[in-house]
Amino acid sequence: MRIENWNGKEIFGAFLEKAENGANLVMDEVVAASKQKCRGTFEHDPPIFREGKFSSAHVAFTPKTGKNKGKLVSFDTKKRWMGRFPGQLQNTIRRVNKAGSGTVRVYAGNFKVYYALMVEKTGYTDRGGKFHPPIHFLQAPFHAIKQTMISKIAKGV
């Protein structure tokens, strides 16, 4: 028995497109929740305004793992943008589709907002990371929606 002329590429392409649209909608929910969680990050701290300028720094540390384990590593950083205003991190949270791979990702930060990962993992602020716990403004919304993600994508198909 044989089926001919059934246009598999068109049929599966339509399913793939609907699944990608469903994934985009789910990740848009993650972006919205991340922006909301990032908004009230340091409500008790006054907003930080810093005039924009470039600055560089000398960094020295001793790694605990890797090929340089236990050795002092030092280098000069490239010039980094040091300007800052309230809401800057929140405005960089976005959804990105990787063309042709079916991958949908949510990113935060850019060249001028280089500290997004530091806030997510260590609670870093201009006042020092040791006073604030990590603020999982990306992970928490993703994990909150993760259980319903497959069903929401399937509804689109």
In this model, does residue 12 exceed pLDDT 60?
Answer: yes
- pLDDT tens-digit readout, 30-58: 999 988 887 655 555 555 666 777 777 77
The predicted model scores a pTM of 0.64
- The per-residue pLDDT for 74 is 83
Which residue, among 75, 83, 22, has the nearest Cα to 54 in the 3D structure? Answer: 83
What are 81-140's pLDDT values in tens digits? 667 777 888 889 999 887 667 788 888 988 778 778 877 877 665 544 455 677 788 888
Q: Which residue has the tokens 């649209």?
A: 21
Q: Cβ(156)–Cβ(21) under 8 Å?
A: yes
- Spell out the domain ranges in the chain: 8-44+86-156, 50-83
